[in-house]
Amino acid sequence: MKKIKCLIVDDEPLALDVVENYINRTPFLELVARCSSAFEAMEQLGKQQVDLLFLDIQMPDLTGVAFSRTLKNGPKIIFTTAFEEYALEGFKVDALDYLLKPFNYEEFLKAANKAKEWFQMVEAQKESGKNDSHLFVKSEYKLIKINLAEVQYFEGLKDYIKIHLAGQPKPIMTLMSLKALEEKLPSDKFMRIHRSYIVNLEKIESVERSRIVIDDFAMVVAEQYREKFQEYLSTKKI
């Protein structure tokens, strides 16, 4: 695996020094630049490839969370902050992890390894070719191949996803957001119907008003997804 190119963004020079030192001690990370504001980071992102941001949340003018929301298809993010209450905001923008200052190298390495595992998963998917038939997900310290044809539905649960497979009573758990997963799934086979559910369209057994049933489990199609789902149904009705 190639080194993960990192950018540090923090308005505190000491915090920049700490993260830079930790990156230099980690063999699979490579520091490309350090920035004292989100605006400097924007310039760097325009100049070179960056895989991973170590991003402070509390910064003047533009916070780390606000900055992260401007990044479309940009680098992955590990937030760093002295304020624990911002953890939830970090996960809402699909951050890989959250480091609470002051953090030691062991805590940093744990977050960095999580990033490494994510990039390994992406590489595995690329090597397997077009990933419209299967995915690799991290679960219980290993990568598990998921055949999409066997998936009944994906269920979001806080920071995790439950993958419900046909013929398996126990779902597979993986640390990922539904938003990130949705981007990887073939849109002609899977559909988001609720903030907590993505369903395999081929596994739907029945539809009653705004309720979908798969394997005797009923899910409500949320209002924001109903129009799209009704469009799909209209193409399948006879």
Please tell me whether residue 208 adopts helix, strand or coil conformation.
strand
Q: Quick one: how far is CA 227 from the chain centroid?
A: 26
Cα–Cα distance, 168 to 46 (Å, whole number): 46
Please state the rounded mean pLDDT for residues 136-144: 81
Sign, Cα dihedral of 127, 130, 134, 139: positive
Taking only the tens place, the pLDDT of each residue in 29-47 is 999 999 999 999 999 998 9
Query: Average pLDDT for residues 111-121, to the nearest whole number?
Result: 89
Secondary structure (H, E, C), 2-15: CCEEEEEECCCHHH
Local confidence band at 139 (pLDDT 50, 70, 90 cut-offs)? confident
Tokens encoding 3: 């080194």
Q: Which residue has the higher pLDDT, 123 or 194?
A: 194
Q: What pLDDT does residue 60 have? A: 85
Q: What is the mean pLDDT of residues 44-58?
A: 92
The model carries a pTM of 0.58
Give the range among 11-25, 29-43, 103-117, 181-195 with minimum mean pLDDT: 181-195
Over residues 99-125, the mean pLDDT reads 89
Reference 174, options 191, 186, 157; nearest CA is 157
Assigned CATH class of 134-236: mainly beta
- Chain region(s) in the chain for CATH 3.40.50.2300: 4-127
pLDDT band at 183 (very low <50, low <70, confident <90, very high): confident
Tokens of 46: 């325009």
Q: Are strands 4-9 and 52-56 parallel, antiparallel or unpaired?
A: parallel
Indicate if the pLDDT at residue 88 is higher than 80.
Answer: no
CA count, 13 A, side-chain hemisphere, 195: 6
- Least confident window among 52-56, 86-90, 133-137: 86-90
- In the chain, CATH 2.40.50.1020 sits at 134-236
* CATH superfamily label, 4-127: Response regulator (3.40.50.2300)
